[in-house]
Chain A
Amino acid sequence: MNAVVEITDLHKSFGPREVLRGVDLTVAPGEVVCVIGPSGSGKSTLLRCVNQLEHATAGSVRVLGTEINDPDVDIDAVRQHVGMVFQSFNLFTHQTVLENCTVAQRKVLRRSKAEAEKVALENLARVGLADRAGATPSQLSGGQQQRVAIARALSMDPALMLFDEPTSALDPELVGEVLAVMRELAEGGMTMIVVTHEMAFARDVADRVVFMDGGTILEEGPADQVIGTPREPRTREFLDRVLDPTHR
């Protein structure tokens, strides 16, 4: 019962289109779960249901012991503890890197300016960007922006980090720096759910890999097993195509 995330029979529809058709997923403290699968399989929607950027249609989502589908729940209070990193970075364009990392600490956690800046700089140092604290997002490369986005989320001292295809919008040469930060974070014991197409990362870093297709979890298990020796033919077909683009 001390799972960080506990999803039971989750359904989500956009109008008549059912994107999630009964998903069960439990994430233990310190666990790194990578969600893989073809586009349109519901991976991102599943992730966004965990901090209620999408409202579930039916089912239960318990985050840190709180049932967030309960209409009486203070979702803002839950989100404070759940960091999210987006595919398109979503840094606040009107603020500096430092302000990006302090604004929520100050307005949500009510930390003092000095404390917020101290925490922000620690986290910027952690992602290797302490020297860019005064820059604006537009002055940074995509990889740097994504590392700032990670530092921004970490500055809230989250108990859980959600990554929604964090490297999909990056130039190939910039992917590595972001994955390196995420790997370090995983090794530090952070609980993480990562939606990704980076199979090598999933295989190396994830404790567990979840393969989704058509709005359900088709297969899950240890990274080596799911990616190395998948049981389901559909998983194998997907991995064949992803791992060897010349396959077809």
Chain B
Amino acid sequence: MTDSRDSSGVPLGRADTSGLRGAPDADPSATDRTPGTSGGAAGAGVSPVVRSRRLSPRRRARLWRGVQYAILLVAVVAVLSAVDRETFTTSVFNLDAARAMLPDLPGAFVNTLTYMLGAFAVGLVLGTVLALMKLSSVAPYRAIATVYIEFFRGIPALLVVLGVAYGVPLAFDLRIDSLIIKIAIALGLVSAAYIAETLRAGIAAVPRGQIEAARSLGMSHSRTMITVVIPQAFRIVLPPMTNEIILLTKDTSLVYLMGVTQAQFELTKVGNNALNSSAGGGMTGLVVAGLCYLVITIPLGFVARHLERRGTKGAAA
């Protein structure tokens, strides 16, 4: 693709110079021929002929843009016309069924947020420890952190949730009764791996000169970390950290594997239950649950962007 464009660049370039014509038009013989000599056949082309055969790059770009819009339009029309409107309002987004779910939603909402916050708290504490271990000058600490991170990053969260629910009681003779603590530990173990990597990268991204400047002013190593490195690392780390929270929010749906009571339902479970409810509505429950997740995750993105802006501008105030 690129090749064909590249090779076409030569004649196009010539067409371009002929586009500058005016004077050469009047006197096409000697001077106009010089740049075209290498091309042989094309070189003979007097400018109008060359122009009419090829679109200028700008015209071609405009045409291509038009084609893209046309494709989009066709696709949208095709999708809309393929929707069976009746089925859609009865069993995909059935307002009555959605309304029937309403009483269950606030509790599920709170539960989802609680599981997420619990998991994030565990992940943040453990992740910070792991990040510091990874930056440690003691080699075994670095090795342990690396193994941990590779392990928990590499296996599905679902397995960890099952492991904490059923494996840990068997292996350690340790019974945790609180569901919140169990899910916070399970998802926290997983997110700690990601958070550790994020924090480590954020700390490493603070320029060396910042540290040297702080040390040259007489600040100790730890004082430099607290006063200079961590505040700057935090700003660097904010966007990926938001990402982590969004991932955690979605992963809370795995809690159903641990066995939940009515009061412990989170959004996915409520949506899933609505599939079998007497109110009917087909898959409406899942659609509603999905929308509820967006109600949490989209504002999170906004908040992060706001904080980021304030982070860079705030110091100016």
Tell me the A residues contacting B by CB distance below 8 Å. 51, 53, 76-77, 79-80, 82-84, 86, 88, 90-96, 99, 103-104, 107-109, 134-136, 138-139, 149, 152-153, 156
Contacts and interface: CB of A to CB of B under 8 A. Distances in A.
Contacts of B207: 90
Given A84-B216, A88-B209, 19 more contacts: A53-B212, A76-B218, A79-B216, A79-B217, A82-B216, A86-B209, A86-B212, A90-B209, A90-B210, A91-B213, A92-B232, A93-B232, A94-B311, A107-B227, A108-B218, A108-B223, A135-B316, A138-B312, A153-B217
Contacts of A138: 312
A76 B220 contact: yes
Given A53-B212, A88-B209, A92-B210, A104 B231 contact: no
A79 B218 contact: yes
Interface in B47-98: none
Contacts of B315: 94-96, 99, 136
A99 B220 CA distance: 18
A77 B220 CA distance: 9
Contact of A92 (B216, B220, B228): B228
B212 A94 contact: no
Query: DSSP class of A's interface residues: helix, strand, loop or mixed?
Result: loop
29 contacts: A76-B218, A77-B218, A79-B216, A79-B217, A82-B216, A84-B213, A86-B209, A88-B209, A90-B209, A90-B210, A90-B213, A91-B213, A92-B213, A92-B228, A94-B315, A95-B315, A96-B315, A104-B214, A104-B217, A104-B218, A104-B219, A107-B223, A107-B227, A108-B217, A108-B223, A135-B316, A153-B216, A153-B217, A156-B218
Interface in B260-317: 311-312, 315-316
A134 B212 contact: no
Nearest to A139: B316
A76 B219 CA distance: 6
Query: DSSP class of B's interface residues: helix, strand, loop or mixed?
Result: helix
Given A53-B212, A86-B212, A156 B316 contact: no
B210 to A, nearest CB: 6
B210 A93 contact: yes
A93 B216 CA distance: 16
Nearest to A52: B215
Interface of B: 207, 209-210, 212-220, 223, 227-228, 231-232, 235, 311-312, 315-316
A90 B215 contact: no
A82 B235 CA distance: 30
A86 B213 contact: yes
Contacts of A153: 216-217
A79 B215 contact: yes
Contacts of B209: 86, 88, 90
Nearest to A156: B217
Going nearest first, the 9 A-B pairs with the smallest beta carbon separation are A80-B218, A104-B217, A90-B213, A84-B216, A90-B209, A79-B218, A108-B218, A136-B316, A136-B315
Given A79-B217, A156-B217, A94 B232 contact: yes
Contacts of A84: 213, 216
B207, B214, B217: residue with the most chain A Cβ atoms closer than 10 Å: B217
A89 B235 CA distance: 21
Contact of B216 (A53, A77, A94, A107): A53
A99 B317 CA distance: 12
A90 B218 contact: no
A94 B215 contact: no
Contacts of A92: 210, 213-214, 228, 232
A44 to B, nearest CB: 12
A94 B217 contact: no
A53, A77, A91, A107: residue with the most chain B Cβ atoms closer than 10 Å: A107
Nearest to B213: A90
Given A136-B315, A156-B217, A103 B210 contact: no
Contact of B231 (A80, A94, A135, A136): A94
A152 B57 CA distance: 55
B184 to A, nearest CB: 32
Nearest to A105: B217
Contacts of B220: 76
Nearest to B218: A80
A29 to B, nearest CB: 20
A75 to B, nearest CB: 9
A79 B220 CA distance: 10
Contact of A152 (B215, B217, B228, B316): B217
B124 to A, nearest CB: 21
